Chains A and B, each alone.
Chain A
Amino acid sequence: MNGIEQTLIGGVEGGTAILLPALGELIGERAGVVNLGTEGCMLGGALAAFAAAAVTHSALLGVGAGFVVGAAFGGLHGWMTVRRNADQLASGLVVWFLALGLTSVFGTSYISRVVNPLPVLKLPGLGSIPWVGPILFDHDILVYAGYVLVAVIWLVFYRTRVGLVLRATGERPEVVAAAGGHPQLVQLGAVAIGAGLAGVGGAQLSVGYVGNWFNDMTSGYGFVAVAVVLFAAWHPVRVLGGAYLFGVALAAASVLQAHGVAVNQYLLDALPYLITLIALVAFARRGSSEAPEGLARALAQSG
């Protein structure tokens, strides 16, 4: 197994912990709500998943618990921003701090405990393809869930009425309301489901490929997820690419160093952010920003 292959395998595993929350953030932002608390929802989900897995001895039940707790934090954010018209950025940061505090307090008894992590399922046939198999088809179930979700979200966004209403809500909620829809309900649902996915992303860390719990274990993945959605200009397939790009960058340095290539991990880490920044500027310059209009309004009226 060579270095490139190792990097790509790590990129897919770690990238999934970015992809799931990024897809969740994509759903919320398409409905017009940005959630800077994604990091907090991930943390909550990571601890809930680990605790549930420790109690029930089932990592899969843990994933479910991760979704529920992530969605609960998201529900708080949704209630504040949608129902109470609170500042979206401040509300997101509040959710992050709440989760940061609550998980370190209620997580202390789980530090240095061990759970059975999600099993690695090598897909029959696909997993045996040379080179591609180990990289894409020899992982835990959440990695495959990521692939499927990208397709499902694309279909829902662009081929169903639900997706149309969701995207319309993010652009012009008043039009949706005039057409007899319920934009607030759509936004609440989108934020909660999105945050649930962030919780599952946390589970991918705690009961997936890291396999234990420690304070602040998501260490910025949730913020990376927010950046990935920007990088992807709100398109699900580009979110997939962006998440794996960040994942590969995070995995590359340690592998490269192990192979005697002197590269600084942190400069490599900064690269995807820089690319995102350049991509954003390029979109803004072209004047063809795909940012949902409601989102742009929400960001502008912050304060």
Chain B
Amino acid sequence: MTNDAMDTATESASSITLPEHLAAPTVPPVHSEPAPIPAAIAAAKDPIDWQRIGLVTAAYLGSLIAFGIVVAIKGANPFSVYHTMVKSTVLNGGSLQQTVLRAIPIALAALAVTIPARAGLVNVGGEGQLIMGAVAATGIGVAIGGHVAGPVSWVAMAGAGAIAGAIWAGVSGILRTALNANEAVTTLLLNFIANDVMLYLIYQPWKDPHGSGQPQSRPLAHAAVLPRLFHSQLNIGLIAAAVVAVGTWYALQRTGWGFALRVVGGNREAARRAGLRVNRLLLSSMLAGGALAGLGGALNLAGVETQLRPDVTVTFGYVAFLASYLGRHDPLKVVGAALLFSAIALSGNGLQLTNGLDGAIVDVLLGLIVLAPLVMAKKRGRAT
């Protein structure tokens, strides 16, 4: 109890003194040098804790062993299964490209969790924002694709996706800032509404008349599909995603906006007293996050799926939430986690073909991998 109180006290003290130079609202501090980090985020003040590193490593090993046991119960050889998984996702050029390609929507939707998380907001709505991005891209792509030059339709689809995602997340942002409705809850509800909107569209108004009864939209015109890079399976969407990911890292780590978000996330009251426009910052984090997820949905649709189908996102939005958690809301680590989850998701196909296991078994591994850091989570003081 006393420790908690002291933590909170030191925290607010440091957060109040930190943003002094931010207080003057006329001069936005664009180039704040290596930002002093609020106490709530600075976990690195302790010396290297070898015991903890050992425990965390053991927890991850435990996850791998537990998955091996599940596999063994189903009569497959765990070593052969792990071999198949690695071979079918990274060791072969073609499959590595697929892993990277599938990671695009996961990584962007994960960054959509990361940005609001910096400001202390919880975005569980990656799924809905991905869906709305894909829906908007389909709407624009089917309407203008083939009638305008390719690059015009690519930009239009990406832009429409980003705007749709931003609107979808922005609804929760406004409900939060104007009406104080919990954003974790509203983003979750909006996922299901987005899914129903998409299903409505592809079962009725957008249904492909030549789709032999399948519920799917009309496919994009060839010119509207994102072009491949150098005869590989990758497309220019990867470049766009990479630029956006690096931009996100830069914005969060190196700009006044990113710093202000962290101050708000560290201690909202102190940020308000220091003159930061807290509500505006909170809303901007949701809008930026939603735009990234929407872009992810649009790039996935325009580059990979090329038409809207019921399982176009296949729970990637929730996987993305876990990726941001696993990457501790650090943009580069989050992208790494997204690549890992993409590989795990993709490895299911290989297991089905080679080891005769149901492909969905990889969901178990995904859960176990996140279980390790969850179980090892440090006790946190409650900074309210």
Contact = CB atoms under 8 A, between A and B. Distances in A.
23 contacts: A36-B124, A36-B188, A80-B371, A85-B379, A85-B380, A94-B367, A94-B371, A96-B318, A98-B367, A101-B364, A104-B363, A105-B360, A174-B1, A227-B192, A270-B192, A270-B197, A277-B189, A280-B186, A285-B179, A297-B384, A300-B120, A300-B182, A302-B184
Given A102-B364, A284-B179, A84 B374 contact: yes
Interface of A: 36, 80, 84-87, 89-91, 93-98, 100-102, 104-106, 108, 174, 215, 220, 223-224, 226-227, 230, 264-267, 269-270, 273-274, 276-277, 280-281, 284-285, 287, 291, 296-297, 299-303
A273 B192 contact: yes
A81 B169 CA distance: 27
Contact of B203 (A87, A224, A230, A264): A264
B196 A98 contact: no
B382 A301 contact: yes
Interface of B: 1, 70, 74, 117, 120, 122, 124, 175, 179-182, 184-186, 188-190, 192-193, 196-197, 199-200, 203-204, 318, 321-322, 325, 329, 357-358, 360-368, 370-371, 374-380, 382-384
B203 A93 contact: no
Nearest to B1: A174
**Chain A residues touching B, majority SS:** helix
B281 to A, nearest CB: 16
Contacts of B190: 277
B377 A86 contact: yes
A250 to B, nearest CB: 11
Contacts of A296: 182
Contacts of B199: 266, 269
Given A89-B122, A104-B360, A84 B181 contact: no
A87 B325 contact: yes
B196 A273 contact: yes
B374 A94 contact: yes
B367 A95 contact: yes
Contact of B322 (A93, A223, A224): A93
B189 A281 contact: no
Nearest to B375: A84
A90 B382 contact: no
A174 B5 CA distance: 14
Given A281-B181, A297-B382, A303-B122, A101 B360 contact: yes
A89 B182 CA distance: 13
Q: Which of A87, A90, A91 has the most chain B CB within a 10 Å cutoff?
A: A90
Q: Which of B175, B180, B196, B203 has the most chain A CB within a 10 Å cutoff?
A: B196
The 3 closest A-B pairs by CB, nearest first: A101-B363, A101-B364, A270-B196
Given A86-B374, A227-B192, A281-B179, A105 B204 contact: no
B183 to A, nearest CB: 9
Contacts of A174: 1
Nearest to B364: A101
A302 B192 contact: no
A276 B375 CA distance: 33
